[in-house]
């Protein structure tokens, strides 16, 4: 990642819109092991990890217990040759719905807040809704991210260039 990306990520984490931190995972989990038990004997399904694809970095964790999801996820766009007036974008998500986690894949809708770093040095905040799909491959995981609404951030579907995700469904 370029130094500006670290600066943008640090600025976003320290900004008023910051409310969650991404966590990175370093191990694949291709088992059908269940998540940890919880109150009322409900098991918890989880996805956690981080990775990079093209000029995007992303990661965090989402946990599903019953029909309630919680977690934190981050998506950062850091193009080498930005077009237009946007230099970089960092998004933090902390509301999750439509969560499905299996041993092979995870899909969730995430809502959060983003900030664009513009080429004039100013920040521009905006709300974001994205649908994430992560597929746990034999050797390489894949991701596809689409935005909901007229504007947003999307990651073209395909294999990760770096990183991986751990999927722990309820069994």
- Average pLDDT for the chain: 81
Q: Between residues 137 and 10, which one has the greater pLDDT? A: 137
pLDDT of residue 42: 78
Q: Which residues contact 19 (CB under 8 A, 6 or more apart)?
A: 72, 92, 94
Rg (CA), the chain: 16
pLDDT of residue 12: 41
Give me the phi and psi of 105, to 5 degrees please: -160, 165
| Domain extent listing, the chain | 3-168
Residue 52 pLDDT level (bands cut at 50, 70, 90): very high
pLDDT of residue 142: 97
Is the pLDDT score of 5 beyond 50? no
pLDDT of residue 40: 59
């Amino acid at each position: 990642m370029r130094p500006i990306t670290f600066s943008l990520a640090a600025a976003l984490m320290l900004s008023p819109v910051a409310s969650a931190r991404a966590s990175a995972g370093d191990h694949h989990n291709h088992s059908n092991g269940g998540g940890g038990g919880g109150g009322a004997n409900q098991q918890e399904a989880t996805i956690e990890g981080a990775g990079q694809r093209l000029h995007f970095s992303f990661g965090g964790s989402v946990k599903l217990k019953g029909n309630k999801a919680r977690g934190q996820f981050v998506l950062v766009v850091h193009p080498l040759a930005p077009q237009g007036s946007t230099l970089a974008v960092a998004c933090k998500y902390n509301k999750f719905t439509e969560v499905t986690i299996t041993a092979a894949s995870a899909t969730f809708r995430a809502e959060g807040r983003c900030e664009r770093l513009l080429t004039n040095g100013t920040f521009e905040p905006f709300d974001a809704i994205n649908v994430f799909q992560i597929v746990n491959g034999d050797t390489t995981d894949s991701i596809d991210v689409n935005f909901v609404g007229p504007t947003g951030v999307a990651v073209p579907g395909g294999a990760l260039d770096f990183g991986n995700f751990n999927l722990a469904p309820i069994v």
